[in-house]
Structure 1
C-alpha cells in the first residue's frame, strides 16, 4: 500500500463517524482509532476552561458573537428575482483558482448558467461551484479561505428574466 493511500484512508476515517478502522492486506495490518473525547469533566474544570477561552478571545472573535439583532442590517434585500447560491458541502471556500489569480467573480459581475463561481475544497478534493443562474452577482457572503458549511449561503445573484 502506498503512502498516499494510507493518508487518504486516515483522512476518510477522520471525516467519518467511525471510531476505529482495521485493514489487513498482503501481510500488512493498518489499524486506526480515534481518540475518545472525555465524557465528563468536573464543574470546576469546566468553568475554568470557559473563563480561559473568554480571556483568550481577540476583539475580532468577540465581535463575531454579536446578537442576531445586530446582524440584521447585513442581510441582503430579497426580491423574487434574487437567488441564493449555497455551499453543496462542508469545506474551505476559494474565490480564485490560485492564490495570485483573479477571483472567478466579483460583486457586480454578470454571470452565465454553468459559470464557475468558486471552489469548495473538501478532503483534498477541489469541487467547482457552478452557477445555476444567469444574472448578476449582487453580494459575495464569504471570504477567500473561509470554512463553509453545507447549505451555507455563499452568493446572492439577481437572476435575469
Structure 2
C-alpha cells in the first residue's frame, strides 16, 4: 500500500463513526482503534461544597461592579512567586493597567491587568486554580 493511500485511509477512518477498523492487503495488516467516549462512561461531578456546607453555584452572589475576566485558559496565580505577597486583595484601590494576577499558559506567564480604576470588591479565583477563557476573576467597583 502506498503512503498516500495509507494517509487517505487513516483520514477516512478518523472522520467516520467507526470505533475500530481492520484490513489485510497483500500480506500487510492494518488495524486502527479510536478511543470513544460515550455518555455511559462520563460521570457527573458533584458541585464543590462551601466551608459552611452550602453548595457553591448559582446561589452565590457576586458583588456588583466591573468584571475582569480571564483572557485565556491556564493556571491563575495571585502573586509573582510562591510565598510572595498577593498583587491585590479585596479592598485595595487599583488603577487601570495595574497587575491583578498572572495566568500561566504553556509555560508562559501572562499578566492580568486591571481594565478599570476602582476598588477590588471580590477576587473570584483562588491561587493555583485552573481558569477558563472568559471566567470572571475580579470585581472592581469604580
TM bin (shorter chain): 0.5 to 0.7
**Aligned residue in 2 for 1:33:** none
Instruction: Give the drift of 1:70.
Output: 6.6
**Aligned residue in 1 for 2:36:** 39
Residue 140 of structure 2 is aligned to residue 157 of structure 1 = yes
CA contact (8 A) 2:47 2:57 kept: no
Instruction: Select which of 45, 62, 65 maps to 2:46.
Output: 62
Residue 59 of structure 2 is aligned to residue 89 of structure 1 = no
Distance 1:37 1:75 in 2: 43
1:33-90 deviation per Cα after TM superposition (whole angstroms, max 9, x unaligned)? xxx851366x9xx4xx55xx67xxxxxx63428xxx9733312243xxx100000000
Give the 3 Å change call, closer, same or farther, for CA 40–147 of structure 1 in structure 2: closer
Instruction: Give the drift of 1:129.
Output: 0.5
Instruction: Select which of 50, 58, 61 maps to 1:75.
Output: 61
Residue 95 of structure 2 is aligned to residue 109 of structure 1 = no
Q: Over aligned residues, Cα RMSD in angstroms?
A: 2.9
Normalising by the residue count of structure 2, what TM-score does the alignment of the two structures yield? Answer: 0.65
In the alignment of these two chains, the number of paired residues is 107
Residue 109 of structure 2 is aligned to residue 126 of structure 1 = yes
- What secondary structure does 2:102 align onto? strand
Gaps of 5+ in 2: 1-13, 15-32, 50-54
Distance 2:37 2:88 in 1: 47
